[in-house]
Chain A
Amino acid sequence: MQDHHNRIRPASPLSGQRSLTQGNTRRLWVRLDVSSDGVNGNEPVDDILCNQPTSVEIEVRDIIDDVKSKILKKLGNTRWVRFKDNTNVTLGFFYYSDELLDLSQINLNASEVANPNTFTITYTEYIRLIKRNNIQIGRWSQLHTSFNRLLHRSSSPSAPFDSVLNKENGTRMLPPQQAQHYAGESGNNVKYTYKIIIEPDLPVMTVYRELYGSLQRSEDAITLFYSPTIVNSVTPTELLTPSDLLDPIRIFTNDSFEQSKSVSISDGPGTETDSATERQDNEHPSLFGSISSSRNNTNILLLPKGFAPEDVQVNTESPTVELKNPSEAIEYSPPNPEDYTLTTDKQLTEEEVGVSLTSTISSPELPRPLSRIATPALDKPENLPKNKVFPRINVLIVEDNAINQAILALFLRKNGISYKVAKDGLEAIEKWKEGDSHLILMDLQLPLLSGLEATKKIRKLERINKIDIFSQKTNTKHPNRKSHIDHETHENLDARNTEEEDTKLDKSKFRSPVIIVALTASYAQSDRTEALLAGCNDYLTKPVNLDWLSKKITEWGCMQALIDFDGWTEGQRRMTDNVVLRPQISTTRKSQVTSTRSIPRAPSIASSIELGDAK
């Protein structure tokens, strides 16, 4: 858990300004498929590194291939990434079924499927299958690869539950099992396993929505497969059919050109190499001209920048034999970097791996990959901070159930966020009136005064006291923060201010409207609408997903920091640390309160320091 948070990048302050529920980004959880990791071979797998889901931020325009880039980028320093790039890793997952799905319309070559209970299909086919077979996908974990599934499986006596919980950092661990094993050893009637390969050209948001709806849990992480067919012979489950939908770059012998160098690239949709491979025809027609329909899976050549195909030492003795193992033809041995003999004088950098063929050819009209344009920041590893830093905000938890209170409180405490707790609507208003709350997590169904009513009341008080972003602006010039109310006229509101004494707030403590995130108990749209109408800014559905919560806190907190930039800059640190908001001791001009009835009500020290708040 903690580690997940450490990897979450703080959102940009601006990100809070867009609609969160319709946001342009999502967090996609991915775990590595360790079982087929050829690099590690028989060595013990580094569990922490390889088994834990990690997340990358995905954007609307990203395709699967971009996601792969981001993952590899994120894992850039790890051992796992060595010799892996977009072309030999695949995003996918397992789908388990106790019945044989109707595969009739799918081009499965039965003879190719050595294990009749295991199928490899593409994502598009999977979606079609689901539809055609009228399968209701309930919770992801019931039918797909997921932690939940593995945890249950390993809670058998032979593998105690504890073994999958890493005591040190509390993260959940996958036992490094072969994927096909857990399909087989079922207590769950699982008879058939479908390995779903997501085509690299699919828009990731679409896939995300189809698979996970609005939110993916880390447990349901998608799997990043690596197919080590370079060193291993193809095993039955790794037979991928139909072959033409696999990773688009493969290296094959090219038997259509006599005595040609045996490098060819199959054309595949949607990667940055697409048009480049075609363009290569002009320069090296004999090398790049053919599209292989071989199903030999994801054999890949890692080529440094500046690589010319001539550098490849080809075994010309068997040019017509399809290369099962490129190392026969190319001096290339993945498991050992020291053995890497290809054009070693050229430095191999991460960015160049796997895209070298395209980068050797300048192609002005080739569109840059979208991800590069959209997220230049992602291209720099240093822009991926390791520690989760939350904006320095004060949160008010409004929750009547002690257990939910405790969960939220612990979560905030662990993240160094200060908080107050209120157990009902009335207390919520009282605590809010104390000031300095940036964010309220408001349960909607509360005793005494409901969350909706409390929200409405708070919004009303804010209105009466002119706490809003725009009145804030008039104030930015003045170090004397509280004076801005004085410039306002109360004409419009005077009529309503019959309860003025109750409504008067200490302005130094209310620099901007509080963000209210409703905690709704149901998925009913009506509840959400009602919450928003009452004046909530956002909502979370209970039970609250803590990852999601941390995201909301970051985004809304950053927004508050942005709105209240003035306040933050004056003597307060914006992130972490226990700096108490200091009241602005005025170098005052005397206030020019237009309202004559105001009496400072806030019981705090600050109000006693404040000068001339009342006339």
Chain B
Amino acid sequence: MSQATKLPEKVINWDILNEIVSMDEDDMGFSKSLLMQFFDQAMSTFDQIEQHIKTDKDLDQLGQLGHFLKGSSASLGLQRIAWVCERIQNYGQKRDGPAVSDENYIKLIQQSLELARTEFVSAKKELGEFYKTEF
């Protein structure tokens, strides 16, 4: 299901992020602090996913974690991360059907997680350039 759509070309959808940035006007630093918050959230979510993969292999939990991070990343216009998170969510829900074994779903999620981390780094980089900060 998720495979039907392609990974977005741009790391960041500025159409969306600009909406947030434009709220900085009388709340200086709002967007930046929000992004910082997101980075923390993403890191901890990645860790949790990692944990589940290593320990209980709870697909349901993994799917929910994917969904959770998808929500915030999409709101911030970090569309590639959001896309990968949706994949994790779908794998967690076994959207590819029962033909794929749970073990394989875990493997797919593991791969997606790596992709998510990569995307996370490039998003950080692009945002760092925008804010002229090292995130």
Seen from chain A, the residues whose Cβ lies within 8 Å of a Cβ on chain B are 1-2, 139, 141-142, 146-148, 151-152, 155, 161, 165, 167-172, 217, 219-220, 400-404, 406-407, 410-411, 414, 443, 445, 447, 521, 542-546
Q: Which of A168, A443, A521 has the most CB of B within 10 A?
A: A521
**Segment at the interface with A among B18-26, B49-57, B97-105, B107-115:** B18-26
Q: Is B34 in contact with chain A by the CB < 8 A criterion?
A: yes
Q: B15–A414 contact, CB under 8 A?
A: no
| Chain A residues whose CB sits within 8 angstroms of the CB of B14 once the complex forms | 148, 151-152
State A402–B39 Cα separation when bound (angstroms): 12
Q: B124-135 toward A: CB 8 Å interface, digit per residue (1/0)?
A: 000000100000
> Contact check: which of B37, B75, B130 meets A543 at CB < 8 Å?
B75
Q: Is B46 in contact with chain A by the CB < 8 A criterion?
A: no
Q: A406–B34 contact, CB under 8 A?
A: yes
Q: A521–B19 contact, CB under 8 A?
A: no
| Chain A residues whose CB sits within 8 angstroms of the CB of B20 once the complex forms | 407
State A151–B41 Cα separation when bound (angstroms): 28
CB distance from A150 to the nearest CB of B (A): 10
CB distance from B120 to the nearest CB of A (A): 14
17 contacts between A and B (CB under 8 A): A139-B15, A148-B15, A151-B14, A168-B25, A170-B23, A172-B22, A219-B15, A400-B68, A400-B71, A402-B41, A403-B75, A403-B76, A410-B27, A447-B64, A521-B70, A542-B75, A543-B16
Q: Is B77 in contact with chain A by the CB < 8 A criterion?
A: yes
| Chain B residues whose CB sits within 8 angstroms of the CB of A445 once the complex forms | 64, 67
State A533–B101 Cα separation when bound (angstroms): 34
CB distance from B135 to the nearest CB of A (A): 15
| Chain B residues whose CB sits within 8 angstroms of the CB of A543 once the complex forms | 16, 74-77
State A542–B82 Cα separation when bound (angstroms): 11
Q: B22–A171 contact, CB under 8 A?
A: yes
Q: A546–B30 contact, CB under 8 A?
A: no
| Chain B residues whose CB sits within 8 angstroms of the CB of A220 once the complex forms | 15
Q: B22–A2 contact, CB under 8 A?
A: yes
**In the complex, residue of chain B having the shortest beta-carbon distance to the beta carbon of A443:** B71
State A161–B14 Cα separation when bound (angstroms): 12
Besides A147-B18, A148-B18, A219-B15, 6 new A-B residue pairs in contact (Cβ under 8 A), listed by A number: A142-B9, A403-B37, A404-B71, A447-B64, A543-B77, A544-B75
State A168–B28 Cα separation when bound (angstroms): 12
CB distance from B38 to the nearest CB of A (A): 5
| Chain A residues whose CB sits within 8 angstroms of the CB of B38 once the complex forms | 403
CB distance from B74 to the nearest CB of A (A): 4
Seen from chain B, the residues whose Cβ lies within 8 Å of a Cβ on chain A are 9, 14-16, 18-27, 30, 34, 37-38, 41, 64, 67-68, 70-72, 74-77, 130
| Chain A residues whose CB sits within 8 angstroms of the CB of B34 once the complex forms | 403, 406-407
> Contact check: which of B25, B41, B67, B70 meets A1 at CB < 8 Å?
B25
Question: Interface of chain B, helix or strand or loop or mixed?
Answer: helix
**In the complex, residue of chain B having the shortest beta-carbon distance to the beta carbon of A170:** B25
Q: B24–A170 contact, CB under 8 A?
A: yes
CB distance from B76 to the nearest CB of A (A): 7
State A142–B79 Cα separation when bound (angstroms): 15
With A1-B23, A1-B25, A170-B25 as known contacts, state yes or no: A521 contacts B30, CB within 8 Å. no
> Contact check: which of A151, A161, A406, A410 meets B37 at CB < 8 Å?
A406
State A1–B27 Cα separation when bound (angstroms): 13
Q: Which of A141, A403, A411, A443 has the most CB of B within 10 A?
A: A403
| Chain A residues whose CB sits within 8 angstroms of the CB of B72 once the complex forms | 401-404
**In the complex, residue of chain A having the shortest beta-carbon distance to the beta carbon of B130:** A161
| Chain B residues whose CB sits within 8 angstroms of the CB of A402 once the complex forms | 37, 41, 72
> Contact check: which of B9, B26, B68 meets A414 at CB < 8 Å?
B26
With A1-B25, A172-B22, A403-B37 as known contacts, state yes or no: A521 contacts B71, CB within 8 Å. yes
With A401-B72, A410-B27 as known contacts, state yes or no: A546 contacts B19, CB within 8 Å. yes
**In the complex, residue of chain A having the shortest beta-carbon distance to the beta carbon of B89:** A521
CB distance from B42 to the nearest CB of A (A): 10
State A410–B20 Cα separation when bound (angstroms): 10
CB distance from A134 to the nearest CB of B (A): 17
State A165–B20 Cα separation when bound (angstroms): 13
| Chain A residues whose CB sits within 8 angstroms of the CB of B76 once the complex forms | 403, 543
State A429–B14 Cα separation when bound (angstroms): 35
CB distance from B127 to the nearest CB of A (A): 11
CB distance from A385 to the nearest CB of B (A): 21
| Chain B residues whose CB sits within 8 angstroms of the CB of A172 once the complex forms | 18, 22
State A401–B130 Cα separation when bound (angstroms): 24
State A141–B25 Cα separation when bound (angstroms): 24
Q: A411–B23 contact, CB under 8 A?
A: yes
CB distance from A547 to the nearest CB of B (A): 8
